[in-house]
Amino acid sequence: MPSNKSVSDAPIVQFTNCRILRSHQLQREDLWVREGKILNPEKLFFDEKGSADIQLDCKDSIIAPGFIDVQINGGFGVDFSLATDDFKSGIDLVSQKILSHGVTSFCPTLVTSPPAVYHQVLPQISIRNGGAHGAGILGAHLEGPFISNEKKGAHPEHCLRTFEAGAFQDLLATYGSLDCVRIVTLAPEMKRSSEVIRELTKRGICVSLGHSVANLSQAEEAVQHGATFITHLFNAMLPFHHRDPGIVGLLTSDKIPAGRRVFYGMISDGIHTNPAALRIAHRAHPKGLVLVTDAIAGMGLAPGRHTLGQQVVEIDGLNTYIAGTKTLSGSVATMDTCVRHFQEATGCSVETALEAASLHPAQLLGIEHKKGTLNYDSDADFLMLNDGLYVQATYIAGEEVWRQDVLSM
């Protein structure tokens, strides 16, 4: 059947012999792609009288939306919290390398830093589409410095700040610009945090609660003012207590505004969260779980000493500590590893594990109409995986940007 090119001259690619993750189910159908978008084959057949120009046999692979990492501090020797002359080449390197781990979009994350670092680094982060050059950049995630001293974790104490003097103006002065900022993590118990949360939300910036000693009512108030995310649940917050469950209590709170969903990040690396805690969170609020790597510069490198912003960290196996202490400082796990560990630890379905790294982060950022799904007209950012959830190939805008070397499989 000849193609009808009245709509577009672009080639139509048909991916066959695959199981597509669509509508929360793996479905045995073909995937059709044109001009970087997922195509509705019914419209193609009946409206355009068209057919595929290229057919690709996927050999029974799973096809899932590309992973979205909303908290990644660096990797492969690059630290996003260091103001260097070659910062742009560093971010390019990370965006290229994470393609092999299935990440097609990400939020470069800066930990608590002096204002000078934000002023130098943030203008060098630009929101951009992914492609053969690397994963797309959705905007920066600024984790701190408006966080609790008591729950600072690996964040340097001398750089912590409060809102008490000028509230939102203090935040603007610290960061310099919010042009490329997508997420801000702050401690909601801080004085004047409510007005800051409202201002950030008004600008379309996602507010995340973390590194905090907030009780449940303070956390609920923050959500009522617009906060929608929790930074690495269980880590750097008050532990769950039955009389006041703290931020963790948001997972089952009845004070969440109607129509609002609270999402929460989890570092599913087998180190930061015990599998039992992972299961508790997932069973309490499955639709809010967002897998994050919280990866640091040492991801992809040999054990030893590396940096995380202003701190020196030490990698010992999968453990990363502030040098000379037992304070955890980020992760060296890759996103595909986190997905596999999450599925194994919780016993959840393959679909659920994949959506925690794709659909849920897209919903958190309000981009699920184009990312995180394989719905018709969404961006053709997707992965081919085997049944063990190992990435075999990564596609962005319908173009193959990485493929597993057969010899190394």
119 CB-contact burial (10 Å; exposed 0-12 / middle 13-18 / buried 19+): middle
330 is in an annotated binding site: yes
Mean pLDDT along residues 122-147: 97
pLDDT for 164: 85
Selecting among 294, 336, 379, 381, the annotated active-site residue is 294
Q: With bands split at pLDDT 50, 70 and 90, how would you rate the model's confidence at 48?
A: confident
In tens, the pLDDT along 203-218 reads: 999 999 999 999 999 9
pLDDT for 283: 98
Q: Phi-psi bin for 309: left (phi > 0), alpha (psi -120 to 50), beta? A: left
300 is in an annotated binding site: no
354 is in an annotated binding site: no
Q: Which three-class secondary structure state does DSSP give residue 96?
A: helix
Strand partners, 59: none
119 is in an annotated binding site: no
pLDDT for 7: 63
Strand residues in 200-310 grouped as ranges (E): 206-209, 229-230, 263-267, 289-292, 304-308
The conformation of residue 99, written as its DSSP 8-state character, comes to G
Residue 407 reports pLDDT greater than 70: no
pLDDT for 8: 73
pLDDT for 89: 97
Fold topology of 13-64+373-403: Urease, subunit C; domain 1 (2.30.40)
pLDDT for 51: 85
143 is in an annotated binding site: yes
Q: Which three-class secondary structure state does DSSP give residue 169?
A: helix
Residue 343 reports pLDDT greater than 60: yes
Residue 358 reports pLDDT greater than 60: yes
Q: With bands split at pLDDT 50, 70 and 90, how would you rate the model's confidence at 318?
A: confident
Residue 68 reports pLDDT greater than 90: yes
Q: With bands split at pLDDT 50, 70 and 90, how would you rate the model's confidence at 1?
A: very low
Mean pLDDT along residues 1-23: 80
Q: With bands split at pLDDT 50, 70 and 90, how would you rate the model's confidence at 128?
A: very high
Q: Are 1 and 51 in contact (CB under 8 A)?
A: yes
158 is in an annotated binding site: no
Among 44-58, 107-121, 331-345, the minimum mean pLDDT is found in 44-58
User: What is the Cα–Cα distance from 295 to 227, expressed in whole angstroms?
Assistant: 23
Q: Which residue has the higher pLDDT, 287 or 326?
A: 287
Mean pLDDT along residues 102-129: 97
pLDDT for 45: 77
User: What is the Cα–Cα distance from 12 to 155, expressed in whole angstroms?
Assistant: 49
235 is in an annotated binding site: yes
Residue 47 reports pLDDT greater than 90: no
User: What is the Cα–Cα distance from 127 to 120, expressed in whole angstroms?
Assistant: 16
pLDDT for 317: 85
pTM of the full structure: 0.96
Domain 66-365 in CATH 3.20.20.140: yes
pLDDT for 409: 45
In tens, the pLDDT along 298-317 reads: 999 999 999 999 999 999 88
Residue with tokens 């990312």: 371
Cis bond leading into 145, ω under 30°?
A: yes
Instruction: Please confirm, yes or no, whether 294 is among the known catalytic residues.
Output: yes
214 is in an annotated binding site: no
pLDDT for 165: 87
Residue 38 reports pLDDT greater than 50: yes
Percent of the chain with pLDDT over 70: 97
In tens, the pLDDT along 268-306 reads: 999 999 999 999 999 999 999 999 999 999 999 999 999
285 is in an annotated binding site: no
pLDDT for 406: 61
Among 3-7, 116-120, 214-218, 244-248, the minimum mean pLDDT is found in 3-7
Strands 67-72 and 103-111, sheet pairing: parallel
User: What is the Cα–Cα distance from 265 to 31, expressed in whole angstroms?
Assistant: 30
What is the domain partition of the chain in residue ranges? Answer: 13-64+373-403, 66-365
Q: What is the mean pLDDT of the chain?
A: 95
In tens, the pLDDT along 176-203 reads: 999 999 999 999 999 999 999 999 999 9
